[in-house]
A and B are shown apart, each in its own frame.
Chain A
Amino acid sequence: MKITQTIHHEQSGETVVLAESAAGTQIALCRTPGFSTSSGHFGLRFGSTDTHFQMPSGAVVEVPGGSAHYLEHKLFEGTEEKVFDRFGKLGARFNGGTSFRTTTYHFTTASRFHECLDVLVDFVQHPLITEERVEKERGIIEQEVRMYADHPGFRGTFLLHEALYSKHGIRVEPGGTVEDVRSIHAQHLQDCYDGFYRPRAMRLALAGDFDVEEVLAYLEPRLDLDPTPLATKLYPSEPSCPAAEWLEEKFPVTRPHVWIGWRAETGVADGRERLRTRLLSSLVLDLAFDMASDTHADLYQRGVIDDSFGCHWSGDSDWGHVIASGLCDDPKTFVTEIRAAAEAFAHKGPALADFERLKRAAWGGLISGLQTPTALAGSILSSLLGEVPPFLMLDVLGEITFEDVRARATELFQPQQSAVAVLMPSE
């Protein structure tokens, strides 16, 4: 185990030690003196959209949607003892999560950090996947998928993804459909595990009031040394324009729910540039539409939007889009008004005073998000999986200029890259 870098971040007041295991697992340790809790977040860049890949042997594998999420569930089954019970006996809080591109596992404890760390790295690195075990989990996951199926915000977002993209994996929710869940077998999950859960792909972030050297020594014999290379992800080629202009479904809602999307560039491969794109795009959206903006005030006063309105940026290495959404009485009027407001903002551009005020607020929001050891470890793992150093977002935010924001505003709302999804009341 070698320490590769120590980063002291002046703005946040935090220090992170970066280390790497012999097999390439990257570890980040953040000491939080005086805090009672410690937290460990372990993850990899493998998520729900990674359903098609070529194994190091050359074999090409295709697995059903929802496989990464199903695998996350199965890892919690453990080998001899359920992970629920192992963490439960230690009194820890724990969970996992699967997104489009990542899977993460984490715990927080106020008393038994080393034992929890042992459980975390053990169950993620040593699964037991059998057909019987996979079958047993199916009903639980089906209920989880159905839990989201009743949520209009969830359904509408994925309907918009279907409108924005023709083939992309983000058209399907991370848990997959009920049909996907019913078609997953042990071999699918084993292939996913063998292809991606390799030491060189794993990232571990730890935060707590611990001794860094001692924790690294504790970890060394517990981290796998398997040198097997990773599988290669195969993504479909996505057309450059939206798949549909307008998709509509009936749903048990009181009023129409509307999502408007604008595709931007096809994605940003470089981690730092991807982070910058995210921050820059979010600043533009806040300047255009947040409650402090003239646009928001005008739309709200005229009754076009209410407090259900919101917008955000979503992007990774091969997608990038803006989503604006809200409830309304007349979807066509809502869409026309929001598009016109977006285009007017892009044409006029933001005001310097607004930019400076909003940048200050964004900085406060980022600092505030680094409060507890749990939040710190989560943020650090997110950085590692985003292929950037911890806390870089604060530096990148500081570097963004008014000119950057003005330029980005002109890129984000291209009419030909826009699509709409609507959930209409079914009753």
Chain B
Amino acid sequence: MGFLQTIPELRQPAPGVELLCLPEPRFKRAQLGLSLDMPLDAGRAARTLLSEVLQQGSAALPTRRDLSRALQAAYGAGCSLDTGRNGEDHRLDVSLAWVGERFLPSGTTVVPQLLTLVQQLLEQPRRGQDGSPFDEQVVARERALLLQRLAERKDDRPSYAEERFLRLMCAHEPYGLQSWDSEEAVAALTAADLEAARLELLARARITAVVVGPCDPDIISAWLADVFGHRNNVVTLTEISRPVPAAVREVKEELEMDQAQFHYGFRYAEPSSKRLVEALGFACSVLGGGSHGRLFRVVREEKSLAYGIYATQRARKGLVTVAAGIDASAYEEVRAEVDTQLLDLQANGPTAEEMEMVLVNRLDRLRGLADSGHELANYFVREHSLGLHRSPAARAALLQDLQPQEIAEAARLLVPDLAYMLSGKVS
């Protein structure tokens, strides 16, 4: 099989709404994702709680039980809302998935009722009995539950370590902000705040929609036009900040835990060309892109210091981060090894074997992504957000043309910023 040659059709069914269309009749399940982006402003606490409250029911389906029953009746469809930070924006994601209609009894359709269900959640939420915008009891309950979950996030030590690391590394940038603002901000929220946030979100959010699988994009396009067609004041999102660190920092924090969590962050300035962007991704893969990465081979396979160690590129922000679960006593050795391997890559570039191994792996992923709705959507949404809009075939051609010295040049863009460890008490 070759590489996918095409890019998805991009439609603009409503002001500030872009729809990526990936109709794919081979798939058994279709999925629609809506990402509603706003700045990481003071309204983010309300939007975070709003996503929880909206899922408690609509005017038509007034309880979570009613909503679940409607989804079950649609042959096990799924619908969820979630919020978080996306780059330096605040994002509310609406996800909808359903079984392709060719598997349903003849003449059965579920798409219209599912789109209506989502529309009702967003536009006609369950109101309070006294005419208030939301049921006060529901707001109070969901607010308490959200605060509880925020307090409990420490229980997941690896995730909490990553959160702390990014907050410290990007302390004075929107990227370092908590997507829910603060516990105090959440605690102060009222039903009126949520209604204001809902109205602002629907009127002003910049929306990226992607539909993948056995579904007619015209139906989705028409629906988006119906829901969002009246808007005229869509928010302008700011460019992401990419400061250059003055010097490498080190922070160690302690929490009761067994395995220590190690993170090491690097920054890079905006690459001067699309080619260099690709070379940087390649360099990241050479360093720690999987079991073929240098760090995996040295830190795990040669020195047995970690079960896994990986490097991740956060392309919009211009970060490369390395993470591993280690014994706290191995911190210096692991950190030194990351420095050594990166310095070598910057000075000498990848070996011929590394070039071949990383290339074949990246090409295989590009060839294979046409088989997965999730991967297809992720690929094209990333291309869209980076303004690159490349087909897998075009990207593959570029990858195959990259030279070792370009990988080294890209690696030289990486500037160490913060080495971080969260561990149990170190004696």
List the A side residues contacting B29 at CB < 8 Å.
367-368, 371
Alpha-carbon gap, A255 to B27, bound state (A):
42
For chain A, the bracket of interface size reads 35 or more
Nearest opposing residue in chain B for A257, CB measure: B155
B182 CB–A CB distance under 8 Å: no
Interface contact B372-A372, CB-CB below 8 Å? yes
List the one stretch of A237-245, A296-304, A317-325, A333-341 in contact with chain B.
Answer: A296-304
Nearest opposing residue in chain B for A286, CB measure: B72
Interface contact A110-B368, CB-CB below 8 Å? yes
B230 CB–A CB distance under 8 Å: no
Interface contact B368-A360, CB-CB below 8 Å? no
Nearest opposing residue in chain A for B72, CB measure: A361
A150 CB–B CB distance under 8 Å: yes
B11 CB–A CB distance under 8 Å: no
Interface contact B371-A372, CB-CB below 8 Å? yes
Using a CB-CB cutoff of 8 Å, which residues 60-87 of chain B contact chain A?
Answer: 63-65, 68-69, 71-77
Contact of B27 among A11, A12, A363, A371 (CB under 8 A): A371
Interface contact A88-B76, CB-CB below 8 Å? no
Using a CB-CB cutoff of 8 Å, which residues 50-70 of chain A contact chain B?
Answer: none
List the B side residues contacting A92 at CB < 8 Å.
364
Interface contact B28-A367, CB-CB below 8 Å? yes
- CB-CB under 8 A for A147 and B307, given A252-B257, A297-B65: yes
Query: Could you pull out 12 A-B pairs where Cβ atoms are within 8 angstroms?
Result: A36-B367, A36-B370, A91-B360, A109-B364, A136-B304, A139-B305, A143-B326, A253-B152, A254-B152, A290-B68, A361-B73, A364-B99
Q: Distance in Å from the Cβ of A177 to the closest Cβ of chain B? A: 12
A396 CB–B CB distance under 8 Å: no
- CB-CB under 8 A for A150 and B158, given A11-B103, A36-B1, A254-B152: yes
- The interface of chain A, by Cβ under 8 A from chain B, is 11-13, 34-37, 82, 84-85, 87-93, 108-111, 136-141, 143-144, 146-147, 149-152, 209, 252-255, 290-294, 296-297, 300-301, 303, 306-307, 327, 357-358, 360-365, 367-368, 370-373, 426-427
Q: Distance in Å from the Cβ of A350 to the closest Cβ of chain B? A: 13
Contact string against A for B residues 25-66, beta-carbon threshold 8 Å, 1 for contact and 0 otherwise: 011110000000000000000000000000000000001110
List the A side residues contacting B26 at CB < 8 Å.
34-35
B256 CB–A CB distance under 8 Å: yes
Q: Distance in Å from the Cβ of B292 to the closest Cβ of chain A? A: 4
List the B side residues contacting A294 at CB < 8 Å.
65
Interface contact A363-B76, CB-CB below 8 Å? yes
Interface contact B76-A364, CB-CB below 8 Å? yes
Q: Distance in Å from the Cβ of A74 to the closest Cβ of chain B? A: 13
Interface contact B368-A368, CB-CB below 8 Å? no
Nearest opposing residue in chain A for B305, CB measure: A139
Alpha-carbon gap, A364 to B108, bound state (A):
13
List the B side residues contacting A143 at CB < 8 Å.
259, 305-307, 325-327
B343 CB–A CB distance under 8 Å: no
Q: Distance in Å from the Cβ of B151 to the closest Cβ of chain A? A: 5
B95 CB–A CB distance under 8 Å: no
Interface contact B357-A89, CB-CB below 8 Å? yes
Interface contact B259-A147, CB-CB below 8 Å? yes
List the B side residues contacting A253 at CB < 8 Å.
152, 155
Nearest opposing residue in chain B for A146, CB measure: B259
Alpha-carbon gap, A152 to B258, bound state (A):
12
Interface contact B76-A292, CB-CB below 8 Å? no
**Residue of A35, A110, A138 with most chain B CB atoms under a 10 A cut-off:** A110
Alpha-carbon gap, A139 to B304, bound state (A):
5
Interface contact B72-A88, CB-CB below 8 Å? no
B145 CB–A CB distance under 8 Å: yes
Interface contact A150-B145, CB-CB below 8 Å? no
Q: Distance in Å from the Cβ of A382 to the closest Cβ of chain B? A: 17
Interface contact B76-A361, CB-CB below 8 Å? yes
List the B side residues contacting A139 at CB < 8 Å.
304-305
B233 CB–A CB distance under 8 Å: no
Interface contact B364-A367, CB-CB below 8 Å? no
Nearest opposing residue in chain A for B324, CB measure: A143
Interface contact A252-B255, CB-CB below 8 Å? yes
List the B side residues contacting A137 at CB < 8 Å.
304
Alpha-carbon gap, A88 to B361, bound state (A):
7
Q: Distance in Å from the Cβ of A243 to the closest Cβ of chain B? A: 25
Contact of A254 among B68, B141, B154 (CB under 8 A): B154
Interface contact A368-B367, CB-CB below 8 Å? no
- CB-CB under 8 A for A140 and B300, given A360-B75, A368-B76: yes
B148 CB–A CB distance under 8 Å: yes
Interface contact B301-A82, CB-CB below 8 Å? yes
Contact string against A for B residues 250-276, beta-carbon threshold 8 Å, 1 for contact and 0 otherwise: 000001111100000000000000000
Q: Distance in Å from the Cβ of A402 to the closest Cβ of chain B? A: 16
List the B side residues contacting A110 at CB < 8 Å.
1, 364-365, 367-368, 371
Interface contact B28-A368, CB-CB below 8 Å? yes
